[in-house]
Amino acid sequence: MQQVVNKASELLAGLDRGESLPSSWYTDPEMTEQEIHKIFRKSWQYVGPIQRLRNVGDFITGYVGGIPVVVVRNENGLQGFVNVCRHRRHEVMKDCGNAKILQCRYHAWTYDLCGDLKAAPRSDREPNFSVADYPLLPIKVETLGPWVFANADENSKSLDTYFGPLLGIIAESGIDLDSLELWSRDEWDARANWKTMLENYLECYHCPVAHPGFSAAIDVDQDSYKLTAYEWFSSQVGYVRQSALEGNAKVKTYDA
């Protein structure tokens, strides 16, 4: 145990000096597996925008640490479930949309919007079978502004505990979250460790070289572009250049 503590202290000291994590942490499959179980399955993960869940029957799907989830609006509000049938573990819902029921596409086990099993073909022939024993497994769901999050850890703290201050920070920047509408969604696979992708977004040191269009629209000077680290998240704030406000930006700009 002392070796583990010493190793952790060494890593933290190295981070304070600007050193990276050990290279094996970016390539070792065993490390990735531990991160999935100890980080992603125990933290709040973004699932989708609230605007896709405005009406009863609306649903969206996603993953939390590799666990498939479905979030649906029913008469009680938003509820989340593990998106796996209790029979043979087949996926229940795909993508997003609106439905009156949640039905597995393998054996047609049918659940209501509250996740309760209502019908299972031929179950009347099974002794002691009760639909009440096989509801979809629940998963925690909360919202932050227009965003929907899910958490696979039933003992996790509320979403507000981690990101509560974020709404005030966004409001101070002049953005009205209630006025935002989903414009588009792009999805792709990256051949990289998740930490490599995330660390790329934790600074704008690369912006003038790698993103000339963005840098022409936003003032990324080190004395103007502000990066702030909070306990559970970080923020980046840059001011729009006057030339961009005058319509001369090489990237698209939108009023918010």
* pLDDT tens digits, 137-166: 999 999 998 999 999 999 999 999 999 889
Q: Is residue 180 part of a domain?
A: no
Angstrom distance (rounded) from CA 24 to CA 3: 18
Residue 242 and residue 165: Cα distance in Å, rounded?
29
- Is 87's pLDDT higher than 90? yes
| Full residue range of the structural domain in which residue 28 is found | 2-38
Question: How many domains is the chain partitioned into structurally?
Answer: 3
Cα dihedral sign for 67, 113, 61, 108?
Answer: positive
Residues 65 and 126 in one domain: yes
CATH number (domain holding residue 149) = 2.102.10.10
Q: Are residues 95 and 152 in the same domain?
A: yes
My answer on whether 50 and 11 are in the same domain is no
Domain identity same for 65 and 145: yes
Same domain for 117 and 207: no
Q: What angle do CA 237, 242, 248 make, to 5 degrees?
A: 110
Of 127, 133, 185, 152, which Cα lies nearest the Cα of 63? 152
Q: Which residue, of 109, 139, 159, is where some domain finishes? A: 159
pLDDT at residue 245, as a whole number: 76
Indicate if 110 and 135 belong to the same structural domain.
yes
Would 100 be classed as within a structural domain? yes
Give a yes or no: residue 201 inside a domain. Answer: yes
Verify that 32 and 49 share a domain, yes or no.
no
Q: What's the pTM?
A: 0.87
Instruction: Tell me if 62 is assigned to some domain.
Output: yes
Domain assignment present for 135: yes
The pLDDT confidence band at residue 110, using thresholds 50, 70 and 90, is: very high
Instruction: Determine, yes or no, domain membership for 176.
Output: no
Percent of the chain with pLDDT over 90: 68
Nearest to 59 by CA among 105, 91, 98: 98
What is the distance between the terminal CA atoms of the chain, rounded to a whole angstrom? 51
User: Do residue 88 and residue 127 come from a single domain?
Assistant: yes
| Residue 175 domain flag | no
Q: Is 52 a domain residue?
A: yes
Give CA–CA dist 92/103, Å, rounded. Answer: 6
pLDDT tens-digit series, residues 219-240:
999 999 999 989 999 999 888 8
